[in-house]
Structure 1
């Protein structure tokens, strides 16, 4: 601790074989920020050793469900990746689902039943300001940001029972329809470079995983296993796709 009451944290990463320092930094913080400084240091060491960005100084957005069995509440919540500093972002008066971070981690897009039917919203984390993402006829759901944060991709369910995928430019508010099928196309997710979209569709009978260009071109099925596939998402490197499967 310094004479001003601040905490000084210093680290050095040493290569014992080469006999030289690989990295080292010094930080000053008040008591309230010492945990975060530790996470920043862990990230720096992790990246220097692996060549990949660390995840220690990150947060998790999730749905907190609480209350009696016949009166459950679902609230948007956020916490540090280790479970500390839980904070609620909604009051539980409306059902909320599928929160997703923006690339800059300052906004969340999610689905809410606030208007009586599912609609996609944006939320500024620090200010709490919310806005509706397009007043479309029908239900909107399963939103995700594009890698540059300029678009939100989502599913739109119309009265005919078909669900198709649309992308909205958040600056111009213009929308682009990416799929046009008589099936249920949903759960879109951009590749890390923004050039492709993975999604699920039951156009083949059961929900399977498909990939298309970011403009909707070249829609190709990539899963052929038994069961129902859902919620695909690309890995940060773009070499893997995670998903759930119900058999």
Structure 2
């Protein structure tokens, strides 16, 4: 924690020096507000529409993230445990993964319009394409001797799934879900930049159009803090759900 605090303090000091240097025409970027100016904008935003926008963005993110994680877990386990599903759907997923979430925006608007559904679709797809890889890998990493032992003990396929496959895959799925937190949260920005009346992304494009650099950076700070808190909370949850990973 001390090293982290020292790193943040050093970054703020460097940022302050750069802001004063660029203000006097010392570089190409002529508009770099000081940390104090960004903090003032952040406090002003917190006293106005921050909590409404944050709630709107979190609603989109959590819905899309949950749908993407559940869908990826089901599809990933099916692909990982079945050669038929792997042959049918494995190449499709590998072909979709390199396509950026930004490229899906026009199609989402055409299919679902500018409402809530299109934003959930974009976030859910971004999360799905991350988590499904971990789900496939986790379902394939079940040790063969454990599976043979379960068969010798007379366990049914459903019992083997509940005792071996699901716990083994869940470790990787939760790791993928944590990785997908950031990709999904970043996709919220993209979705709200395109079409949204409320949300952090909508506020970001609004202040950008007025060339208010301090407000733009304050909104970016809000995104960063929210992502940091979600990642920390999920780390604690992950430790409780899969304690055997640490052991």
Q: Same fold (TM over 0.5)?
A: no
TM-score under structure 1 normalisation? 0.21
Which structure dedicates a bigger proportion of its chain to strand? Answer: 1
Which structure dedicates a bigger proportion of its chain to helix? Answer: 2
TM-score under structure 2 normalisation? 0.21
